[in-house]
Amino acid sequence: MRLAFYMAMVCAGLLAGRTCTAEIVDRIAVSVGNRVITQTDLDREIRITALLNGEKPDFSAGNKRQTIERMVDQRLVRSELETSRYLLPTEAEADTELAQEKSRFPNEAAYRRALAEYGVSEQDLKDRLLWQLTLIRFIDLRFRPGIQIGDEEIRQYFEDHVKAAAALAHPGKTPVLEDYRDSIERTLIGEAANAQAEQWLKEARRRTRIIYHDEVFQ
């Protein structure tokens, strides 16, 4: 999340030592280490998420809390990316994602109208799509390597989650494990990577000073 203005003293005579009035440019929602997430950042995230999901923006206290927790996790990942060498997505990849998003709309006018209705700029939307690609790549590179899925795990997943559904989907055909092995393995690797990522985030949170400003979430 780009670091926004969060508090400023506005006074033309400040350097001359004159008395001036403090003006809040933006309110801090959360401090994550030496970085901040502002109320403007939070509101933008809610609007972009609603646009992507085709929903009405939800500014309730509960959704603000859920959203800010997700943003704290994002901030922790960004800090990791800043100190490590990961191959990040390119602008061209973000442009491709943006084009796919725009294709959901019947025409350019409808797309522009939706941006205006949600109060989202195209650059904000592109930044969000680029971040989603970045997060997926981070998880893939940071946690997937080295994950090994055994035959018994695959067999058990087939029995518990695939066999009955496959039989219903294809009446008269007996489901065979080998037909689903590759997809099951990908699923299990993804679940294992996500679990490792969640554990990493818990540890990163313990190492980081995180301060919530509850008044923003009312």
Residue 115 belongs to domain spanning: 8-147+213-217
- The pLDDT, as a whole number, for residue 87 is 82
Provide the number of structural domains found in the chain: 1
CATH number of the domain encompassing residue 139: 1.10.4030.10
Task: Answer whether residue 169 is part of any domain.
Answer: no
Query: How far apart are the C-alpha atoms of 157 and 151, rounded to whole Å?
Result: 10
How far apart (Å, rounded) are the C-alpha atoms in residues 32 and 1?
A: 12
202 in a structural domain: no
The answer to whether residue 203 sits within a structural domain is no
Q: Which pTM does this prediction carry?
A: 0.77
Q: In angstroms, how far apart are the furthest CA atoms of the chain?
A: 87
Residues 6+ apart with CB under 8 A from 158: 175, 177, 180, 181, 184
**Position 195 in a domain:** no
d(CA 72, CA 207): 13
The pLDDT profile of the chain, 218 residues, written as one tens digit per residue, is 333 333 332 333 333 344 444 445 689 999 999 999 999 999 999 999 999 999 999 999 999 999 999 999 999 999 999 888 788 899 999 999 999 999 999 999 999 999 999 999 999 999 999 999 999 999 998 999 989 999 999 999 999 999 999 999 999 899 999 999 999 999 999 999 999 999 999 999 999 999 999 898 87
DSSP string, 65-83: HHHHHHHHHHHHHHHHHHH
**Tokens representing residue 173 in the block:** 């055909």
- Evaluate whether residue 138 is within a structural domain: yes
In a domain, 53, yes or no: yes
35 within domain boundaries: yes
Does 80 reside within a domain?
Answer: yes
